[in-house]
Structure 1
Amino acid sequence: MVSILFTVLLVLAFLVSVTMLIQRRKKAGITGLKTALTSICFYLIAAINLLAYWFGFLGLVSWSMTVMLLLLGAYFTKYMAVSER
């Protein structure tokens, strides 16, 4: 029961977060794939860990993919738009 509740909350938060990100990018006029790669990497981390939780492969492979995506997300921050504030 707890695992189903956890999954539902995570998927809802995931969907709300993606829609907010898309709206903010449109509002700011940011286009292109390079500026979105950090967010894409972080969303993939959430998806991979949710799948790992449900299918039981919480091992070296999922941890390695998580670390790799974290490093890629950190690397691609150089392409993010700089705030003018």
Structure 2
Amino acid sequence: MFGSIITILSIGALLVAPYIIHKRRKKEGVTGFKSLLTSACFFLIAIINILAYWFDVLGATSWFSTMMLLFVGAYFTKYLPPPEDVNTR
């Protein structure tokens, strides 16, 4: 039961998040493929882990692919645009 609820919530988030990311990138004027790879890697991590859970293949392969995608996503964060300075009190 718990696995089904988590899967439904994860799939819902995976369907909504790309739309939000696309709108924010368009609003900020961010272009380029390298800055998109961080988000893509994190989406792939979620998809791989959902599939590994449902097909009962949680093991070295899913862990290795998760770690590699995490490292690749972390590497490409350097291509994200720097945050704007907001003067807040």
Q: Which range, TM-score by smaller chain?
A: over 0.9
TM-score, normalising length: structure 2: 0.88
> Per-residue deviation at 1:3?
2.5
> Per-residue deviation at 1:83?
1.6
> Per-residue deviation at 1:32?
1.2
Number of matched pairs? 85
Structure 1 residue aligned with 2:14:
14
Stretches of structure 1 lacking an aligned partner (at least 5 in a row): none
Stretches of structure 2 lacking an aligned partner (at least 5 in a row): none
Output the amino acid matched with 1:7. T
Please identify runs of 4+ aligned residues in structure 1 that moved more than 4 A: none
Q: Could you tell me how far apart the structure 1 residues matched to 2:18 and 2:53 are?
A: 21
What value does the CA root-mean-square deviation take over the aligned residues?
A: 1.0
Alignment of 1:1-85 (within 5 A): 1-85=1-85
Greater per-residue helix proportion:
1
For the pair shown, which has the larger CA radius of gyration, 1 or 2?
2
TM-score, normalising length: structure 1: 0.92
